[in-house]
Amino acid sequence: KILVVGSSNTDMVIKAPELPRPGETVLGGEFFSFAGGKGANQAVAAAKLGGDVIFLAKVGDDELGKNAIQSFQKLGIDTSLIRSAKGLHSGVALILIDGNGENSISVASGANNSFTLADIDSIDEVLGQTEFVLVQLEIPIPMVEYLVEKCSEKGVKVILNPAPAAKLSLSCLAALNIITPNETEAEMLTGVKVSDEKSAEKAAHVLLESGVENVIITLGAKGSFFLNRVEKGLVPAFSVQALDTTAAGDTFNGALAVALAEGQSLKDSILFANRAASISVTRMGAQDSQPFRHEIIL
Ligand code: ADP
């Protein structure tokens, strides 16, 4: 099993000719609503690629939360650990996009901020059947650190996608099997400006020295650089016509967990994840753009 722990949001998007200035009302927009949140995006990516996924998330006491749970179930995701937080609303992102694609985003995390130690303890019953835990940083950091500590005690491997960028304790880093920052996140964690293979290697070394077993830095259209004690290398991206890179990283992480849980090598798993992410950038949206297993041709 792959246990994903993280956020679930509903993205409400209005596309209009112009972004409103403070105090201004702009008519003439078009409205779209999408399921989002890094946790949900990664859980859905893994499920669409054939992973056996269980998702621990917090939703609100509202219709958005109920709808989210239903959509996860339709994809075969085990939702038995998802709790609805009394009196709180589900996570919502309000996104305004203008005619040039410029955006303005406001997020109300709602129930995503209500993770408690007891919520994390609820995974005890499934950890015995879990090969990989996949987690991001859109839920409170102390809860992520508690999760990582628990998994390390039980010998369950953790893949941490440190997004959005935030600092993590050394003891947390030292307990990770895999960390998967993008260029910005790698810089935030190491102080090394990352833009190519060489700078990625330098940043990856800093993370390796912190005790992470395997470092994978995603480099957008350049692919992914990986480093551990015995091997390193750049796994180039697939060359595609990119249309919308939303959730490329989420697709990468969900796919990586699926391939690793199947027992594929680190390098083959990165190749699989690059392929899945490369397909997602050729299509609009987050979860809707993510490929199904039969679309992956290596
Ligand atoms: P994030 O979305 O978190 O910023 P990246 O931009 O590094 O992450 O992208 C994650 C992965 O998605 C990359 O390692 C690569 O495999 C794939 N990818 C992203 N952008 C492109 C692109 N333009 N062409 C092909 N693959 C891409």
pLDDT at 83: 97
Lookup: tokens for 192: 């090394």
Whether 277 is in the pocket of ligand 1, judged by its Cβ within 6 Å, is: yes
Whether 146 is in the pocket of ligand 1, judged by its Cβ within 6 Å, is: no
Instruction: Answer yes or no: pTM beyond 0.90.
Output: yes
> How far away, in angstroms, is 61 Cα from ligand 1 center?
35
Strand locations in 18-79 (E): 30-36, 53-56, 58-60
C-alpha to C-alpha distance for 42 and 136, rounded to whole angstroms: 9
Q: Which among 30, 26, 34, 27 is positioned nearest to 10, based on CA atoms?
A: 34
Q: How far lies 90's CA from each of 75, 124, 210, in Å?
A: 20, 25, 35
pLDDT per position as a tens digit, 211-256 = 999 999 999 999 999 999 999 999 999 999 998 888 999 999 999 9
Whether 238 is in the pocket of ligand 1, judged by its Cβ within 6 Å, is: yes
Lookup: tokens for 223: 């692919």
Task: Tell me the CATH class for 2-295.
Answer: alpha beta
Delimit the domains of the chain by residue range.
Answer: 2-295
User: Would the ipTM clear 0.95, i.e. be above it?
Assistant: yes
CB 152 within 8 A of CB 133: no
Confidence check: pLDDT of 192 > 90: yes
pLDDT at 284: 83
Instruction: Report the pLDDT averaged over residues 278-286.
Output: 91
For the annotated binding site, the residues are 9-11, 37-41, 138, 182, 218-223, 244, 246, 249-250, 274, 280, 283, 285, 289
pLDDT per position as a tens digit, 82-137 = 999 999 999 999 999 998 888 888 999 999 999 999 999 999 999 999 999 999 99
